Amino acid sequence: MKKLAIHFSANPNPTDTLVIALYQNELDDPILTQFKVQNLVAPLIAQGDFSGKLAETRTVYSDTPQRVVLVGLGERDKLTVKKALSAQAAVIKALENTGAQHISDASVLHYPASCDQAWSVLQHTQSWQRSFYDYNHPSRGEHSPKQSAITEISYPMDATDKLTQAAQQGQASALGMALTQDLGNLPSNICTPGYLADTATQLAQDYGFKTTILERDDMIAMGMGSFMAVAQGTVTPPKMICLEYWGADSQDAPITLVGKGVTFDTGGISLKPGAAMDEMKYDMCGAATVLGVLKSLGELKPKINVVGVIPATENMPAGNAIKPGDVVTSLSGQTIEILNTDAEGRLILCDALTYAQQTYQPKCVIDMATLTGACIIALGHHVSAVLGNDQTLVDELKAASDYSYDRFWQLPLGEEWDEQLKSNFADMANIGGREGGTITAAQFLARYTKNVAWAHLDIAGTAWQSGANKGASGRPVPALVQFLLSKQA
């Protein structure tokens, strides 16, 4: 995906396109005079061809600039974050398949009362950069790649450090999201655990990261009985992928991100229903998120230490696959009775969480996983669930998600749900029944994170969308980038 050139200039001289946002019932905005397009736009307004309704767009052509794009924001006192982003999306759609190359985006000057100018710059930059995304792997066959003539965005204001950093963050987040989307959208016969490992190796080469890849024999020898139980039914080699970014003092403990990397989930012996099973290629979107976040950090180079840990495997039914009733021993030494082989994500994550703590002694651990269908029932496809054992960490993640509008909603943990994991034959069962499924899954992971600040993100409802627009979303890369930047030394 090409990278936009982004500039700030208090005295803009747009080459070909000017974007102006107007509020409904406030169509005599001085901004029209400021940009010397009052006479051009006035007839459009007078004739009722533009009213400023939310996400309404009209394009007027002239000599200089060649085109002026008007976008409506609706009523000023009703402008929300969602509405502001909808208006920006409408502008991008209006400029698709046009010859616009160099855009002066004056619509960035308007934003909700709860936000600030830096937020607007971040969101606009992220939107412009994301507009280039197109899944264009050769496996797609005949496909006309998205063509956009846009090469440069100029914001009509003086550059400050805060605004420049906001633009850089927006662009880097979009680039990280694109990698996350590409990995999620690839078919599982291409995006295998080995492919994820190769992607991590390439990121390490591109950005100077350190990478470590553990193979099946390594993990068996270490005692990762839970992870290896899931992997034993597949002939595709599993991997434990570790990617390290050290941007601060090496003595400063890293933040560790752990991402579920089930590159295809059949459910194992507890086979899933056939309908929409193809979407189980998205069960590695937690892993893809970790790689996307690391790409964003490579672009931004913040002063922080971050380690990504990715347990990657397929979950397949086979003659040697794990069975309901089997008992396995995790890396932590705790035993697990496997009542459902389709609750495999927590089985690979628990060993990854233990390994991350033993190897990196992190200051905190955040795992992310397309873990439970129950999360979709609880929260739909709009927000991800966050649960954890450290309220400060959870609050910081929620604040980052609210700012980025890549939102999280906290669900509880507690002894009541933990009791649902009781087993007569092991330290715990891997499922706790239908009730509170998202919580009991997190409660399982909590047994492996008692000695570290930990948060769990269930992204089952937000990592991809189904239907006509089926595809990976790139979430929650923006929220995690925002969180990590807020933790810089």
Q: Is 116 annotated as a binding residue?
A: no
CB 463 within 8 A of CB 355: no
Q: Is 458 annotated as a binding residue?
A: no
Q: Is 344 annotated as a binding residue?
A: yes
Reference 479, options 392, 408, 394; nearest CA is 408
Q: 346 an active-site residue? A: yes
SS3 482: helix
Cis peptide leading into residue 476 (ω within 30°) = yes
Distances (CA, A) of 8 to 114, 166, 306: 23, 12, 31
Reference 284, options 480, 466, 406, 459; nearest CA is 459
Q: 130 an active-site residue? A: no
Helices 345-360 and 437-446: crossing angle in degrees, nearest 10, is 30
Query: Buried (b) or exposed (e) across 382-391, using 16+ Cβ within 10 A?
Result: ebbbbbbbee
- CA dist 111 and 455 (Å) reads 31
C-beta neighbour count of 45 within 10 angstroms? 18
Q: Which two tokens stand for residue 346?
A: 């927590």
Q: Is 252 annotated as a binding residue?
A: no
- The catalytic position among 295, 346, 398, 475 is 346
Q: Is 283 annotated as a binding residue?
A: yes
- The catalytic position among 58, 146, 272, 363 is 272
- CA dist 200 and 212 (Å) reads 9
DSSP string, 74-140: --GGG--HHHHHHHHHHHHHHTTTS---EEEEGGGG---TTS-HHHHHHHHHHHHHHTT-----GGG
Binding site feature residues for Mn(2+):
260, 265, 283, 342, 344
Residues identified as active-site:
272, 346
